[in-house]
Amino acid sequence: MNATPSDRAGKIHVHRKQNLERVAVSTDVYTLACERTAYIFDQHDRVQVMFSGGKDSTATLMVALEVAHSDPRFERHLPLRTIFFDEEAIPQETADYVARTFARPDIAGEWYALPVQHRNACSRSSPYWWPWAPEDEDRWCRPMPDGAITHVPGFTAWPQEARMSIPDMAGLLAPPPHTTASLMGIRAQESITRLRAVLKRRIDNYIIKASGATARGNLYKAYPIYDWKTEDVWAAPRLRGWDYNHAYDLMEMAGVGISQQRCSPAFGEEPLQKIHTYAICFPDVWSRMVERVPGVGSAARYALTELYAYRDRPDKPAGMPWPDFITHYLAKFRPKEASSVAERIRKELATHYRKTTDPIVYKAIHPLTGLSWHFLLTIAMRGDFKGRKQAGARVANKKTEALWQEYVTEATAIRDAGTAAEYGYPRPWPTDPAALVITIDYQSR
């Protein structure tokens, strides 16, 4: 219900909201990961580990191997199927580490070098790139690895538009009738979206049925280390004596913090922030990357500026409606991608107005939906083709009272400035924005 005048005169009251905080338990995360992995081994016909050579997939693989050797009933999963998709523009240290790992007798490694579709956020006119694309062989960042798998039945290599992403082709590697679990190093700490993925269910919340173009109902994604922190991921190799990717040593020496270290290509919307570290840490592969993927040189110089919608945002011309400003940036994409991003923005707007009739302001996020024109501008400029940025996730673990105060303050300023017509609101601007505040008392339910 709407807040009463007495509510509006003082502090805004919201007694409880969804809690997305970590819950402390008495068991350590390593033991929990082992228990989950053992359960996965018992419940599925086949198990495979999706291995990138990074720190999180290392923890996942090493836990799986230790569990596989811990009990005779798990021996049916040995040697453990381990899948590596070589993304071409990777440090040599990563390739060396994968080779060392695949040399173990208890691992059945599969090294794929396919032109799978990857996001290229460096360029709006070339929004995708394809590692190991045959038409770009003269510009590959590295020679084709010996023994790499370059063909999978059902994967179309040509034309470019027909090439699938890794999630979409996942079903090709795990056909029915067997049930297959893909162990993945996904951690909830990495993003609110990943956290929400494991909050959808209370039972076996770390096991999710896979979707995608080739999924046929028998493939499951499993996140046994979803509750590990970055510190846990690095403590485990030291305590357990695991090998690791020495590309991280170079990033450490370059001053890259442990929560920001990535060994995969930094061409996506979020990793783009650290693309300049490749030039410092991996100069050999970097010299090829700038020729390999369109826009990389510009991204290295300007990724942390308003050109790529980081930190600052471009100023909207006075008097221009926000929908028109959004359309201006959508037009910078190719028609197909522009249409996709526009549809994403329409869905965000529809979700907002389905939950509330309140107007959307520029900077302050709406406490019920998380939406703002600032957020929509970011989507319009970056693309966010994978849908990793969700408006609703922006209100998680935020103090709702403070969100309402910021929203009411900005809505009132818009009213006073007489600029409401620029915000695309289909109704008259509220004369008393404080009346929009919703007070929810869960304790009375």
Quick count: other Cβ atoms within 10 Å of Cβ 250? 18
- From 323, 292, 306, select the one nearest 378 (Cα to Cα): 306
Mean pLDDT calculated for residue range 305-311: 90
Would you place residue 22 in the very low, low, confident or very high pLDDT band (cuts 50, 70, 90)? low
Mean pLDDT of 329-344: 94
Whether the Cβ atoms of residue 237 and residue 244 lie closer than 8 Å to each other: yes
The two tokens of residue 385 are: 């083709």
When pLDDT is cut at 50, 70 and 90, the band that residue 243 belongs to is: very high
Residue for token pair 């509510």:
7
Instruction: List, in sequence order, every beta strand (DSSP E) within 77-215.
Output: 80-85, 107-112, 118-119, 128-129, 180-183, 207-209
CB-based contact 100:243 (threshold 8 Å): yes
pLDDT bin (cut points 50, 70, 90) of residue 8 is very low
Please state the φ and ψ torsions of residue 363, each to the nearest 5 degrees: -100, -45
Query: Residue 74 corresponds to which amino acid?
Result: F
Q: pLDDT-derived band of residue 432, with 50, 70 and 90 as boundaries?
A: very high
d(CA 385, CA 388) in angstroms, rounded, equals: 8
pLDDT at 445: 32
* Partners of 112 in beta bridges: 85, 149
Q: What is the pLDDT of residue 10?
A: 32
CATH number of 29-240: 3.40.50.620
DSSP β-bridge partners for residue 355: none
Task: Band the pLDDT of 18: cuts 50, 70, 90.
Answer: very low
pLDDT in tens, 115-161: 999 999 999 999 999 999 999 999 999 999 999 999 999 999 999 98
Confidence of residue 192 (pLDDT cuts 50, 70, 90): low
pLDDT band at 196 (very low <50, low <70, confident <90, very high): low
Average pLDDT over residues 15-44: 80
Distance set, CA 55 to CA 63, 122, 149, 165, 379 (Å):
12, 25, 24, 22, 29
Q: Is 219 exposed, middle or buried (0-12, 13-18, 19+ CB in 10 A)?
A: buried
Domain limits of the chain? Answer: 5-19+314-444, 29-240, 247-308
pLDDT of residue 21: 54
